[in-house]
Structure formats: structure tokens, C-alpha cells
Amino acid sequence: MKLSRKILKFTEPLTYRRGWRRAQRSIFPVPLQPMLAQIDPDRAQEIQQRYANSTAGYAKYADIQPWLKLNRERVQDLNLHRSAPKRVLDLGCGGGFFLFILKNLGHSVVGLDIDRVPLFGELLELFDVQRVVYKIDAFEPLPDLGQQFDWITAFSANFYLYHPAKKRWGTAEWDFFLRDLQHHLAPGGKIFFGLNPSYNGGYYTPEIRDLFLSRGAEVERERIFFENGARF
Ligand SMILES: C[S@@+](CC[C@H](N)C(=O)[O-])C[C@H]1O[C@@H](n2cnc3c(N)ncnc32)[C@H](O)[C@@H]1O
């Protein structure tokens, strides 16, 4: 790419924001070693070895180091490494990597997920991260979680896809969901979704993007951030 085009690309707001976040987290990465010292190394190794030859899609999570590094980026990008202790609910928490890091940084954490993948249960136990077993469904409120949260997050969680119909939630489903999340959010709370590309490659339809915006979100490609909760 020509230098002039590179410069132009860097000055585009989205490229600039992403570049700035990347730079910040690579200059001051939160150390993972003291966190790793909290877990049982023999158990971690045993889990890794047991899944080493597995062809299951989720087996990749048994090698915990790369996933901890990825989730450190998520934590730092949300500035949660520099924040006073918060109550964080992570939807579709998987093995609990994100919450494990947050817990080590002094936050109070709860995950929510279905109990389908035994490896995730084993990792949550290894990390000593609490999970509420629950399946998020369209037009169904979340269960009573016994507290409100300062942050509600979801990364690549896919609960907004209909299986096996290969359809994604529409605006009515998302609107119901956002309204329900508000009940679980403490005053001043924040919501963040890191979406996965959907069946056709996009992250959302123009209608869903408009809904996010109308409810007060900043939308940056796959990153949907409600800094002041969803607005109704
Ligand atoms: C690709 S994994 C991502 C896990 C984790 N968020 C991460 O980034 O490492 C997707 C997760 O979403 C969960 N999930 C999918 N559909 C869900 C639903 N309807 N309700 C709750 N969790 C769901 C899966 O069980 C799985 O743990």
C-alpha cells in the first residue's frame, strides 16, 4: 500500500481508534504471570493434554495461554484494568477467561452460559469463576441473578442466532433483550457486545445497527458499546 494511502487509512476514525487501542495495550500489557500462579498447573496441563488430539471445535480453548492473552486485550480495551472494582456479568462466558482476568484485577464476576461443553465447566472450575447455567432465548427474560451489575458483556456468544434455522435475531428480539438487560444493570452501568460475523459474513443488518444506535450505543464494526446502558 502506498504511504499516502496508509496515512489516509490511519486518519480514518475507525482505523485510528483501533490502532490507538492496539498501541495502548501493547505498550502496557497487564502481566498474566501472577494470575497464572493462582491456578493449579498440573490440572491445567492435564486438561490441555486430554484435549490435544480432540477434533472438537471447542478443544482449542484447552490451551489456555493464547485465550488469556486475547481476553487481556478485551479487558484492557474496556479499560477495566484501570477501573475501581466493578460487578461484571459475562453472557456466554465459555471457559471464563475474561472473568478470570477481571477477578484477578479485583472485580466481582459472574458468568452465564449453557452447560453443553464439558471443557468450559472444567476451565471455570480451574479458574474458580462462578457460572449461572442458563440458555438465553429470544423474548425470554434472564433469570433473577440476585444482584445488579456495573457491566454486562458478551463476546462471540452467538445467543442471538436461531439454530438450526441459521437465522439471526431481528430488531424485536434485540429490543426485548436490551430492555431486559436494563433490569440487571446498576445505575450508570454499561453494556458491551463483541459480536461474531453472522451466517452471511456481516455482524448485523442495517435495521439492527439502527436499533443499537437509537438505544444509545456506539457501534464500531463488531463492537457495540452502551456507555450509559440502553436508552428507553
Ligand atoms: C464461541 S464461544 C465464546 C465463549 C467466550 N465468550 C469467549 O469469547 O471465549 C460461544 C459461547 O456462547 C455460549 N452460548 C451460545 N448460545 C447461548 C445461549 N443461547 N445462551 C447462553 N450462552 C450461549 C456458548 O455456550 C459458548 O460458551
Per-residue pLDDT tens digits of the chain, which is 232 residues long: 566 565 555 557 778 888 888 888 888 899 999 999 999 999 999 999 999 999 999 999 999 999 999 999 999 999 999 999 999 999 999 999 999 999 999 999 999 999 999 999 999 999 999 999 999 999 999 999 999 999 999 999 999 999 888 889 999 999 999 999 999 999 999 999 999 988 777 999 999 999 999 999 999 999 999 999 999 9
The domain made up of 34-226 has a fold known as Rossmann fold (3.40.50)
For residue 221, the CA-to-ligand 1 centroid distance in Å is 20
d(CA 91, CA 195): 12
* CB-CB contact of 93 with 112 (8 Å): yes
Q: pTM for this one?
A: 0.94
Find the Cα–Cα–Cα–Cα dihedral 149, 154, 157, 162, rounded to 10°.
70
d(CA 134, CA 120): 14
150 lines ligand 1 (CB under 6 A): no
CA 202 to chain centre: 18
113 lines ligand 1 (CB under 6 A): yes
Of 38, 75, 64, 73, residue with least CA distance to 120: 64
114 lines ligand 1 (CB under 6 A): yes
For ligand 1, atom 24, name the residue with the nearest CA: 92
